[in-house]
Every structure is written in structure tokens, then in C-alpha cells.
Structure 1
Amino acid sequence: MFQYNGRSLIREIVFILIALLWWLPFYILGVNSLAPATSVGGTGLAVPDDPGFESYAQAWEGNGNGTLGAALLNSIVIAGGSVICLLVIGSLAAYVLSRRPGKLSGALYALFVLGIILPYQLGVVPLYAAFRGLGLVGNYAGMILLYTGLLMPFSVFLYTGFIRALPRDYEEAASVDGAGHLRTFVQVVFPLLRPITATVAILTGLIVWNDFFTQLVFVGGSANETLPVAVYSAVGAYATQWSVVFAAVVIAVIPVLFAYFFSQRHLIRGFTGGTKG
């Protein structure tokens, strides 16, 4: 039985201090976003005397090249489309690699692992030239295709490790009942992949959502600018109005925090390899 003692109290105090330290940057960000432009940073950690949301309104309206609302929609479409493609294609590919052992499967799996190790930035220039020639620069289709290719090794790696740990009993029973490979995967295997599916969706979604370099190169200056690029543009446009910059950053961070709070349980279950519903 667990007994609360002095060591437990010290442990709780340490964890609380760590949590406060983790939240400190967010607190500073929020306080400065509510401060008037003339007093940003002048109040330290104290809440400003006359906090307001004018900076949020100005940041949401943008600087004439686009609004944060449009950038938010672009990020949702690109991240959502990429995650769906990664879940569908990655789970199917991992299922085949896991259930068809052999030299070819081993070689393909090694290639996927190599894709995780090698930095994709080494191929940005030829990728950009190829996408520009195909008319895929600055639009949704190009970004979804790009992120699906870049993150597919990561998706297949996570799915493969999870599928290999699954028992084959349900699949063999479905095969005896006359189900084909695709039907067995859709109706039997994929429901068992819910924990790792949530993990892949969360991790890849956050990677796409927070990515700046790739989005700056492929959609920067277009009508489909994403949230990180829009925040970067706000820094240049409001260099003397830091409260507006801080407000833009808060708007960009809020969706990520909500996604993490509501999905952390599924993320942990996916890493621990649990298969219970």
C-alpha cells in the first residue's frame, strides 16, 4: 500500500516547481501579449495595469499580405491532409512489411529507417525544382504530397513495430472465414492499431504544424501561407509592436496545446504498446 510520507511531499514539491518552470515562458508570453505596445517588457512578470486584447485583434487582421485566420485554415488543411495520408498509406505499408517477412521486406524496412536518419534538408533544392516543374509549389496538394513523403518513414517505423507485437490469431480466424487480406486489415487489424494510430497522428500532425523551414520555402509568399510563416511575417511587419507579435505567437500555440492536452493519454498508450480499446 502506498503511504504518504516526507519523501512523497518532497517529490510533489519538486514536480510542482518543474511544472511552474515549464509554464513560465507561456505566462510571460501571455502577459506581454496583453500589455500595451509601449509597456511590453516594462512590467516584468506582473500583469499589466490595463490589459487589453487590441493586440490580438491587430494580429488576427494581419498586415495586408494575409490574415492569421487564413493561415490557420491553411495549416489545418495541410496538417490534416498529410496526417490522413500518413495513417492510411503508412499502416498498409507497415502491415505488408510485418506480415510478409523476407529479404525484400527487410530491405524496404531498412530503406524506411534510413529515411528517418538522413536529414531531408539535403534534398530541398532538387525537391523544390521538381515540385515547381510539376506546379506543386504554393498549393495544398504539393504540401500534402511533400509531407506524406517526408514523414512516411517515421509512420511506417512506428506502425511496423506495433504490428509485429500483435498476435496473428484474429487474422487467422478472419482468413478461415473467407476474408481477404484487405478486408482483414480494415476490419480486424486496423481497429487494434488505435493506440499507435493516435500516436502517429499526434506526432506527425505536430511536426507538420510546427514546421517552419519547409513551409517558408514551398508556400512562403503565396496565398496558402501557413501559421508559422504568417507569424514570421508578423515579426517583420510589427518589429516595433512586440505585443502584436506575442499575440500572434499565442494564437499559433493555442491549437497545439489543446491538441496535446486532449491526446496525451493516447500518445502514452501508443508508446507503451497497449492494444486494449
Structure 2
Amino acid sequence: MSSTTTASPVRRRPGRGRSGHRGGSAFRRGYGPYVLELALVAVAVVFLFPVYALVTLALKDPRQIAESPLAPPAPPTLANFGDAWSSAKLGPALANSTVITATSLLLLVVLGSTAARFLAHRARGVGYGLYVLFLLGIVLPFQLGMIPLYELVDGLGWLGTYQGMVLFYTGIQLPFTVFLYTGFVRALPPDYAQAALIDGCDHRQAFTRVVFPLLRPVTGTVIILNAVFVWNDFFTPLLYLGGSDKETVPVGVFAFVGQYVSDHGLVFAGLVLAALPVLVVFALLQRYVIKGFAGGLKG
């Protein structure tokens, strides 16, 4: 006996075909990444345009700047950099900024990591109160204490000296440094330090030989962020070092710009020379920035 099987018709939902929302999903899969890449390229062009203008004007003579300021230099000239170096006296200013920035960074790394080691393992009581106090130091603007700080430095006889600036920058940036270090230390497993203690190390040796090397990502982040702030700060060195032989790069460039404001090639060459050191530091340590923030947020 033969049996006949009748296939039931396939019902389609209204409005859903090959050109429905599946087509939109295919569009997102096919063209979405390209649209996102184009948007990122546009954003990159917007951010890189000031850098292009800065370098282009620094490599041009006055005639080229007058004819076409934003066109590529043809031919480029390096004479502006030599003239800017000698006219703006950037050599002593770079030395002053290097001493102040390096000393401040050293103190921030040592004090910040040590304080974070204590605060990360004292979640209650005094440790928690000190951590909240450091967080308040981030929220409160330091401009509110400029006059008392100035009087303090003046009373110590440290106006126009390296130690006055180092004391200022260390105190101002220490809360932010402790915040970054504390979050990263909390994310570290305590087994490493405990193993070092079992092997005969004291707490100082366990921290310096075992824990601190593990803090390399956040240390790179601390160095980059604090170096950019200290190196580029203008108002504080102008207030504390103005008129002395310890003026930093931003103060020296400010005086140079005011003197040679009509010669844009010299001005922009001086700005490039002033920005180069911190750009080099950022290029060397930039891969640690994301790692440091990621570890701190996870902690």
C-alpha cells in the first residue's frame, strides 16, 4: 500500500525576508568595521593636525611661512632649531626641568609605592582613613592652597631653588600616585610576598625584591603621567622660580615667545625642542599606561 505525504506549506513572517533586519545585520558585519575605521582615521587626523602644523612651521624659513604656512616645507631647514637653542637658552632650562622632574618622580615612586603597600593591606581602621584622605587630595584643587604654599616655601627660604619645586610637586602628585599604586597592589596575589617571607626575607626585602618588580606596569604609568604634569607646568615655576637661574622649560619658552613672536619659525622650533624630552619618555613607556590603569581598576 502506498501512502501519500503532503508537505505542509512554510509560513513566513510578514515583513521578514532577505531584505529585512537580517540584511541590516549583514550590513553591520560587512561595512561596520570599515565605517568604524574611517571614523577613527578622521579622529586621528584631527588630533595630529596641530602636531603637523607645529613641525611644519618649525622646518620653514620666514619666506615659506609667509607664502604657504601649512604646506609641506620645500626644502625643510634645520636652522631654526639651532637659532632657537642659542636664543632661548634652552640648554640651562632643559637641565633645570630634568633635575626637578627626575627628582620628583623618584620621590613619588618611592613614597607612593611604599604607602600603597601599607594601604592595600589595611582595608579597615587607620589604613582606610588614610586612603580616603589621599583621595580627598585628588578631588581638592591645589590652587586653593597656592598662597599658603607660597608662604611656606618662602619661610623655608626655598624660593628659586630645586628643593622648593620638588617639595611642591611631590606633595601635589602624591595622592594620585598612591591611588594608582594601591589599586594595582590590591590586584596582586599575596602569595609572592608570603613566599619571600618564608624564605627568610623581612618585609622590606620582600617588597623591594619581590613585590616592587611586579609593579612595573603601574610604575610606568606613574612616571609618564607625573612627568607630563611636572614638565609642562608653567604657572608654578613662574611663581616660585621667576627671575632666578632655575627657570624651567615652559618659563623659558614663554619669555622666548614674547621676544621672538614675529619670527614664527624660531618660536615653533623652540616649542618642538621643549616637547621632545617628554615625548621620548612617553614613547618608551607608553605600553605600560593601559596595563597600569587596567590593573588599578581591577583592584
Q: TM-score, normalised by structure 1?
A: 0.90
Q: Establish whether residue 159 from structure 1 lines up as the match of residue 181 from structure 2.
A: yes
Once the two structures are TM-superposed, the CA of residue 25 in structure 1 deviates from its matched residue by 0.8
- Which residue number in structure 2 is paired with residue 91 of structure 1? 113
Amino acid at match of 2:46: L
Once the two structures are TM-superposed, the CA of residue 15 in structure 1 deviates from its matched residue by 2.3
Amino acid at match of 2:278: V
- Which residue number in structure 2 is paired with residue 17 of structure 1? 42
The 1:256/1:41 distance shift into structure 2, 3 A limit, reads farther
Question: Using the alignment, how far apart are the partners of 1:185 and 1:244 within structure 2?
Answer: 49
CA contact (8 A) 1:32 1:41 kept: no
How do residues 52-91 of structure 1 correspond to structure 2 at under 5 angstroms?
52-63=77-88, 67-91=89-113
Q: Establish whether residue 46 from structure 1 lines up as the match of residue 68 from structure 2.
A: no
Once the two structures are TM-superposed, the CA of residue 207 in structure 1 deviates from its matched residue by 0.9
Q: Establish whether residue 173 from structure 1 lines up as the match of residue 195 from structure 2.
A: yes
Question: Using the alignment, how far apart are the partners of 1:97 and 1:68 within structure 2?
Answer: 41
- Which residue number in structure 1 is paired with residue 53 of structure 2? 28
Question: Using the alignment, how far apart are the partners of 2:182 and 2:74 within structure 1?
Answer: 55
Question: Using the alignment, how far apart are the partners of 1:24 and 1:81 within structure 2?
Answer: 34
Question: Using the alignment, how far apart are the partners of 1:13 and 1:5 within structure 2?
Answer: 14
Amino acid at match of 2:239: V
- Which residue number in structure 2 is paired with residue 119 of structure 1? 141
Question: Using the alignment, how far apart are the partners of 1:106 and 1:129 within structure 2?
Answer: 31
Deviates more, 1:45-54 or 1:135-144: 45-54
Once the two structures are TM-superposed, the CA of residue 58 in structure 1 deviates from its matched residue by 1.8
Unpaired segments of 5 or more residues in structure 1?
Answer: none
Q: TM-score, normalised by structure 2?
A: 0.84
Question: Using the alignment, how far apart are the partners of 1:172 and 1:191 within structure 2?
Answer: 15
SS in 2 for 1:231: helix
Once the two structures are TM-superposed, the CA of residue 49 in structure 1 deviates from its matched residue by 4.2
SS in 2 for 1:273: helix
Question: Using the alignment, how far apart are the partners of 2:82 and 2:192 within structure 1?
Answer: 55
The 1:5/1:255 distance shift into structure 2, 3 A limit, reads farther
The 1:49/1:189 distance shift into structure 2, 3 A limit, reads closer
CA contact (8 A) 1:34 1:51 kept: yes
- Which residue number in structure 2 is paired with residue 221 of structure 1? 243
CA contact (8 A) 2:183 2:295 kept: no
- Which residue number in structure 2 is paired with residue 230 of structure 1? 252
Q: Which has the larger radius of gyration?
A: 2
User: Considering only aligned residues, what root-mean-square deviation do their CA atoms show, in Å?
Assistant: 1.9
- Which residue number in structure 2 is paired with residue 250 of structure 1? 272
Question: Using the alignment, how far apart are the partners of 1:168 and 1:211 within structure 2?
Answer: 38
Question: Using the alignment, how far apart are the partners of 1:179 and 1:48 within structure 2?
Answer: 61
The 1:12/1:101 distance shift into structure 2, 3 A limit, reads closer
CA contact (8 A) 2:56 2:73 kept: yes
Deviates more, 1:101-110 or 1:155-164: 101-110
Once the two structures are TM-superposed, the CA of residue 54 in structure 1 deviates from its matched residue by 2.5
Q: 1:47-76 CA distances to partner (integer Å, 9 max, x unpaired)? A: 24454223222211125xxx1111111111
- Which residue number in structure 1 is paired with residue 171 of structure 2? 149
CA contact (8 A) 2:122 2:128 kept: no
Deviates more, 1:262-271 or 1:47-56: 47-56
SS in 2 for 1:195: helix
Report the identity percentage: 46
Question: Using the alignment, how far apart are the partners of 1:175 and 1:239 within structure 2?
Answer: 62
Question: Using the alignment, how far apart are the partners of 1:101 and 1:12 within structure 2?
Answer: 44
